[in-house]
A and B are shown apart, each in its own frame.
Chain A
Amino acid sequence: MKFLVRRFLHSVFLLMGVSLLSFSLLQLTPGSFFDEMQLNPQISRATVSRLRAEYGMDRPMLQRYVCWLESAARGDWGLSFAYNAPVAPLIWARARNTLLLTGLALPLAWIIALPIGVLSAGERYRWIDRGGNLVASVLLVTPELLLALGLLWLALRTRWFPAGGMASVVPIKHGAAAHIKDLVQHLFAPVTVLVLGSLPVLLRHIRSAMVDALQTPYIKAARSHGIPYLRILFRHALLAASSPLLSLAGLSLASLLSVSLLVEVIMNWPGLGPLLLEAILARDVYVVVGAVMLSGLFLVCATAVSDVLLFIADPRIRTEDLA
């Protein structure tokens, strides 16, 4: 119980730190949202500076930070300059789509990576190891951007699946079933890219954790007891290897919101990616801070979950806190 309370307090401090530091970082970057207006020959400098003042950008950073905290407490999380609207609804409406995408892709990647990683660590399955190695290194050196473009090319050539977007604009059929089918078709390409993109890292880590676990004396003992090899791999060794894998799972959960950003942009997925990329480039600062806070929140939850799981799975750690 004490453990949980402590974690919670840590998390609150962490989020405060994240918000304060991201404010300072934003302060450092050159340019502001209102620069683009200056390029428009039809807008005078006076109008631009009036707008700056209206959005409070002429005030000192700390004052803006306090204002932002106030607005965050109200649930608005600041105001987007571009949309002239509160940040929270803007982000949330898009984060849902991102979560749908990554929430599907991550478990799928783990489901694929676990058996391959485990089997390729077991020395009896050398061919899986070699094949996995090759595939992993090919995927590792292929930037996700290129994977995405490759899939789009396939989509254009074959018309097997749609080339981007989340739904057909002019639906052919109506009804819930048709709607879901349409969604699944549109999900195919981005999910594939995300799965393929995260596979190599997962594979390498699972494999190396398993190789380590297989060297431990009790696995050797288990093998000498004649327990079936596959059972050793998946039951005993995997459990022994769980501690680094749980850390990894926590990390991959934490990066849930950020992994898909560029893929979303290429694949035209209406998630946080396009909004955030535009906000970053346009210096729509509160949108960026909002997105950072959301991913910070995710991180906090993910690390908490993985720590708790670690705590449960590894008796060696458990002893410390019980003491």
Chain B
Amino acid sequence: MGCHFTKGLPALLLSSVVVCLIPSSVSAQSPLSKEELLISNDPVGHPGGHLVVSLRSEPKTLNPVTSIDISSREVIAQMTGDLIHINRFSENTEPALAKSWKVSRDGLEYTLKLRRGLRFSDGSPLDADDVLFSFHAYLDEKVNSPQRDLLLIGGKPITIQRMDADTLVFRLAQPYAAAERLFDSVAILPRRLLEQAYNDGKLSQTWGLDTSPQQIAGLGPFRLKEYVVGQYLTLERNPYYWKADREGRRLPYLDQITFIFVPNADAEVIRFQAGDTDMVNRLSAEDYAALEKEQTAHSFHVYDAGPSLEYNFLLLNLNSSLPAQSEIAKKQKWFRDVKFRQAISLAIDRDSMIRLIYRGRGTPLWTPVTPASSFWIDNAIPHPPRSIDQARKLLQQAGFSWSRNGELTDDTGSPVKFSILTSASNSQRVQMATIIQQDLKELGVSAQVVSLEFRSVADRIFRSHDYEAAVLGLAGGDTDPNSQMNVWLSTGNDHLWDIGEAHPATSWEAEIDRLMEKQLTTLKPQARKILFDRVQEIIAENLPIISLVSPNVLVGAKDQLGNFRPAALDPHTLWNSQELFFSVTVAARQR
């Protein structure tokens, strides 16, 4: 019957992927040249120490090819290396395993030079074949790696050619702006350990949590030491890591990192407060305020690392696929009127949201681009202040009127009522919806908050489109607009307000499509910025989604932790784990 529980696929050969393979046996035996370490410019720290951090849920796998959840990726990021890396602090790309790269004039060819003499965490050498193997694995359709779609440019996979032992050429089917950012987080795998599993079609089952440490190797600052089911996972220092500090001491400083698994945000904060963990990520404003009061008494500090990439918004259902006689389709008549959307946006009290929900640690938004994307944000976008009068005027112009008891009615005389869907697991968004509901009452609109559990919300929004309005949030992984293509293109998966459009439903959506496609193939950042500014203007004018607020990145860490520099990009705290260190006293005590 071919049950799906035995995932044993027939042995697959590499031939299914279009890549040029050059016999690799030569380089594997070639003598190792001198190690080309990357020298870090950051302050020098002390070696030693055991860092304990918490993960909001248990990691599911240690396999970089199949991992998808945040916890797994956070652990894997510590164990693996990528060719080109995005510096989470500066938000720019920087050399990693590739010491340099060149882009051809037409933007179609990337030539990467690998660092020489590097070793995986088990001591085996890295060469170009490992890189080739890794990209085959990610691009293989049968492996079903969630990373695969990232590496498809214009619908075609990137092709890779090995020029010599440390030179690789990546070819793109069409020009792609800032393509070097795609290399970030594509972990390079040890061919020696994984090739057999790959050939057997079992790559996706390898490197589960129960794998023994000898079976796993990577190029990250740490390597697997121990995993205890349900409790914690410990990584130890990778003695072969390819970065060193200014004094030539090989990084990382820390001996060990332990990730303890906590099931919810409260437990995470409590464990930090109890001193069990040394760091805490993604604090809510409430927790931040509470910890702030205690930071003098305990030896920790909380940090406000500034705006994040998360944007929360009110989504009105503009789906064009709904049957015309349905209840929602009748309401869409209002939603489709841009004046109605503008009136709603004007009525929302964003300042109260910031004050009450984020305790002032957030930014009001009028487009989905947050100040964290300092380069891309269009500062010319107007920020109209809340005005019920103005909102009423707009509604009047759009043909709405008010009944004697103050209810807003449309031109057919039916009252304006709709429900606002939100995920109950995110209390901040429920709070936003509650504030909006009260704000809209001032316009005579009666809105009802419906909070459901997350999957039910997702099912309504993505599959059945059975909702009227919703408060949602998205967080980009990168500041670059390319990471949000799927939201803005009318054919994109995450074109939330009208999912599954075949053609842009409005002229402004067509214009956004055109601009976004154009910026994708434009190579000059400044030229891209002009195009993307125009996109932001169109969004601010037409409000396909009504942007609300963005929280700041709030984190906490023990005082003794050196080089602690929280960043706006994920992972906010552990991105520079190789440089973190404990001041001497603690490191000595923990020994």
The reply, when asked whether chain A contacts chain B directly with Cβ atoms under 8 A, is yes
Interface residues of A (CB under 8 A from B): 29-32, 35-45, 47, 50-51, 54-56, 59, 63-64, 66-68, 70-71, 76, 78-79, 82-86, 89, 93-94, 97, 149, 152, 155-156, 159, 162-170, 264-268, 270-271, 273-275, 277-278, 281-283
Q: Of B213-221, B227-235, B239-247, B313-321, which binds chain A? A: B227-235
The complex places the Cα of A94 from the Cα of B58 at a distance, in Å, of: 12
CB distance from B56 to the nearest CB of A (A): 10
Judging by beta carbons under 8 Å apart, are A79 and B455 in contact?
Answer: no
B 419-457 to A, binary, CB cutoff 8 A, 1 in contact else 0: 000000100000000000000000000000000011110
Judging by beta carbons under 8 Å apart, are B487 and A281 in contact?
Answer: no
Judging by beta carbons under 8 Å apart, are B271 and A268 in contact?
Answer: yes
CB distance from A255 to the nearest CB of B (A): 20
Q: Which 6 A-B pairs have the closest CB atoms?
A: A56-B4, A270-B230, A31-B455, A67-B3, A31-B459, A274-B263
Judging by beta carbons under 8 Å apart, are A84 and B590 in contact?
Answer: no
Chain B neighbourhood of A169, CB < 8 A? 52, 232, 258, 260, 276
Picked from B205, B230, B231, B460, the residue with its CB within 8 Å of the CB of A275 is B230
CB-CB contacts below 8 Å: B232-273 with A? 232, 258, 260-264, 266-267, 270-271, 273
The count of A-to-B residue pairs whose CB atoms sit within 8 angstroms is: 185
Judging by beta carbons under 8 Å apart, are B455 and A32 in contact?
Answer: yes
Say whether B462 faces chain A, with CB atoms less than 8 Å apart. Answer: yes
CB distance from B498 to the nearest CB of A (A): 15
CB distance from B414 to the nearest CB of A (A): 29
Judging by beta carbons under 8 Å apart, are B270 and A156 in contact?
Answer: yes
Say whether B150 faces chain A, with CB atoms less than 8 Å apart. Answer: yes
Chain B neighbourhood of A167, CB < 8 A? 231
Picked from A40, A55, A97, the residue with its CB within 8 Å of the CB of B4 is A55
Chain B neighbourhood of A268, CB < 8 A? 262-263, 267, 270-271
Say whether B146 faces chain A, with CB atoms less than 8 Å apart. Answer: yes
Chain B neighbourhood of A37, CB < 8 A? 68, 146
Which range holds the interface residue count of chain B?
A: 35 or more
The complex places the Cα of A42 from the Cα of B477 at a distance, in Å, of: 10
Judging by beta carbons under 8 Å apart, are B5 and A84 in contact?
Answer: no
Judging by beta carbons under 8 Å apart, are B456 and A163 in contact?
Answer: no
Chain B neighbourhood of A82, CB < 8 A? 60, 69
Say whether B458 faces chain A, with CB atoms less than 8 Å apart. Answer: yes
Judging by beta carbons under 8 Å apart, are B230 and A84 in contact?
Answer: no
The complex places the Cα of A156 from the Cα of B205 at a distance, in Å, of: 41
Closest to B152 in A: A44
Say whether B7 faces chain A, with CB atoms less than 8 Å apart. Answer: yes
Q: A31-B455, A32-B455 are in contact. Are A265 and B263 (CB under 8 A)?
A: yes
Judging by beta carbons under 8 Å apart, are A79 and B5 in contact?
Answer: yes
Judging by beta carbons under 8 Å apart, are A35 and B271 in contact?
Answer: no
CB-CB contacts below 8 Å: B376-425 with A? 425
The complex places the Cα of A265 from the Cα of B264 at a distance, in Å, of: 7
Q: What are 6 A-to-B residue pairs whose CB atoms are below 8 Å? A: A50-B144, A59-B4, A63-B1, A89-B210, A164-B262, A266-B267
Chain A neighbourhood of B68, CB < 8 A? 37, 40
Chain B neighbourhood of A35, CB < 8 A? 455, 458-459, 462-463
Judging by beta carbons under 8 Å apart, are B260 and A165 in contact?
Answer: yes
Q: A42-B483, A268-B267, A283-B455 are in contact. Are A94 and B5 (CB under 8 A)?
A: no
Chain B neighbourhood of A152, CB < 8 A? 270
Q: A163-B276, A268-B263 are in contact. Are A56 and B3 (CB under 8 A)?
A: yes
The complex places the Cα of A9 from the Cα of B271 at a distance, in Å, of: 48
Picked from B50, B231, B464, B483, the residue with its CB within 8 Å of the CB of A166 is B231
Chain B neighbourhood of A70, CB < 8 A? 1, 3, 5
Judging by beta carbons under 8 Å apart, are B1 and A67 in contact?
Answer: yes
Residue among B209, B274, B453, B485 with max Cβ neighbours from chain A (10 Å): B274
Closest to A46 in B: B149
The complex places the Cα of A283 from the Cα of B3 at a distance, in Å, of: 20
Judging by beta carbons under 8 Å apart, are A41 and B60 in contact?
Answer: no
Judging by beta carbons under 8 Å apart, are A41 and B58 in contact?
Answer: no
Residue among A51, A79, A268 with max Cβ neighbours from chain B (10 Å): A268
The complex places the Cα of A160 from the Cα of B204 at a distance, in Å, of: 45
Say whether B61 faces chain A, with CB atoms less than 8 Å apart. Answer: yes
Say whether B85 faces chain A, with CB atoms less than 8 Å apart. Answer: no
Judging by beta carbons under 8 Å apart, are B261 and A83 in contact?
Answer: no
Picked from B208, B264, B274, B492, the residue with its CB within 8 Å of the CB of A84 is B208
Residue among B1, B50, B270 with max Cβ neighbours from chain A (10 Å): B270
Interface residues of B (CB under 8 A from A): 1, 3-5, 7, 50, 52, 57-58, 60-61, 66, 68-69, 141, 144, 146, 148-150, 152, 204-205, 208-210, 229-232, 258, 260-264, 266-267, 270-271, 273-274, 276, 425, 453-456, 458-460, 462-464, 474, 476-477, 483-487, 492-494, 590
Chain A neighbourhood of B50, CB < 8 A? 170
The complex places the Cα of A278 from the Cα of B1 at a distance, in Å, of: 30
Closest to B59 in A: A83
- For the complex with contacts A68-B5, A71-B3, A169-B260, 16 further pairs of A-B residues with Cβ separation under 8 Å are A39-B494, A40-B68, A41-B485, A43-B493, A47-B144, A47-B148, A51-B144, A70-B1, A70-B5, A159-B274, A164-B262, A264-B263, A266-B266, A270-B231, A275-B230, A277-B263
Judging by beta carbons under 8 Å apart, are A274 and B273 in contact?
Answer: no
Chain A neighbourhood of B230, CB < 8 A? 93-94, 97, 166, 270-271, 274-275
Judging by beta carbons under 8 Å apart, are A31 and B458 in contact?
Answer: yes
Chain B neighbourhood of A281, CB < 8 A? 425, 453-455
Closest to A57 in B: B4
CB distance from A174 to the nearest CB of B (A): 14
Chain A neighbourhood of B425, CB < 8 A? 281
Judging by beta carbons under 8 Å apart, are A79 and B458 in contact?
Answer: no
Closest to A30 in B: B459
Closest to A96 in B: B229
Judging by beta carbons under 8 Å apart, are B271 and A67 in contact?
Answer: no
Chain B neighbourhood of A89, CB < 8 A? 210
CB distance from A265 to the nearest CB of B (A): 5
CB distance from B294 to the nearest CB of A (A): 9
Judging by beta carbons under 8 Å apart, are A47 and B149 in contact?
Answer: yes
The complex places the Cα of A45 from the Cα of B232 at a distance, in Å, of: 34
Chain A neighbourhood of B4, CB < 8 A? 54-56, 59, 64, 67, 79
Closest to A67 in B: B3
Judging by beta carbons under 8 Å apart, are B266 and A162 in contact?
Answer: no
Judging by beta carbons under 8 Å apart, are A30 and B460 in contact?
Answer: yes
Chain A neighbourhood of B477, CB < 8 A? 42
Residue among B204, B210, B266, B267 with max Cβ neighbours from chain A (10 Å): B267
The complex places the Cα of A275 from the Cα of B68 at a distance, in Å, of: 17
Chain A neighbourhood of B486, CB < 8 A? 41-42
Judging by beta carbons under 8 Å apart, are A163 and B494 in contact?
Answer: no
CB distance from A250 to the nearest CB of B (A): 28
Closest to B231 in A: A270
CB distance from A83 to the nearest CB of B (A): 5
The complex places the Cα of A267 from the Cα of B1 at a distance, in Å, of: 44
The complex places the Cα of A166 from the Cα of B261 at a distance, in Å, of: 11
Q: A47-B148, A50-B144, A70-B3 are in contact. Are A41 and B492 (CB under 8 A)?
A: yes
Closest to A92 in B: B229
Picked from A44, A54, A267, A274, the residue with its CB within 8 Å of the CB of B149 is A44
The complex places the Cα of A67 from the Cα of B2 at a distance, in Å, of: 8
CB distance from A166 to the nearest CB of B (A): 6
Judging by beta carbons under 8 Å apart, are A84 and B456 in contact?
Answer: no
